[in-house]
Amino acid sequence: MEKRIIQLGLILVSLTLMVQPYGIPIYRINPAGGRPLVTYVSYFSSTPPTENLNFSPLFIGILSVVILVRIIISLIVNYRKGNEVDNPGRVNIICLILCVLATLASWGFFSAVSIIGGIVLALHIGALVCELLTRRGYLYK
């Protein structure tokens, strides 16, 4: 149960960082020439696709909200049933792995590296480790 609460805290902190307006860098062409102009937007930004073709931050944000809802539902069900460990499936593990892969793809293809992105990646990896430790007995059944 305590691993679930730690995981809930990690996802809440990552979502708090994702909402901030300086999460993802967008590079624009400088009309004066020289270095490109860099602006930072939120993971949940509604920037038009003509300016930003990087849809992975929005994908990561939606998956993080899905994980948060599943953790909260799991905590409520466990509290009512009195169970220590639940087995709702491997959806959280798959969502967290997709979040990590989407972050790495965003960094590789779009050079969208930022400190906030690195912290969000570390928080998602921490939540993945907590999820794997929580489901240790159910992974191979």
CA-to-CA separations, 136 to 2, 40, 69, 130, 141, in angstroms, rounded: 15, 39, 21, 10, 10
- CB count within 10 Å of CB 107 equals 16
C-alpha 15: how far from chain center:
7
C-alpha to C-alpha distance for 34 and 20, rounded to whole angstroms: 28
Residue range 49-103, pLDDT digits in tens: 556 678 888 899 999 999 999 888 888 887 777 665 555 557 888 999 999 999 9
B/e letters for 5-42, b = 16+ CB within 10 Å, e = fewer, are ebbbebbeebbebbeeeebbbbbeeeeeeeeeeeeebb
- The mean pLDDT of the chain is 83
Q: What is the pTM of this model?
A: 0.84
4 in Cβ contact with 128 (< 8 Å): no
Instruction: Give the domain ranges of the chain.
Output: 2-134
Segment 9-29 mean pLDDT = 90
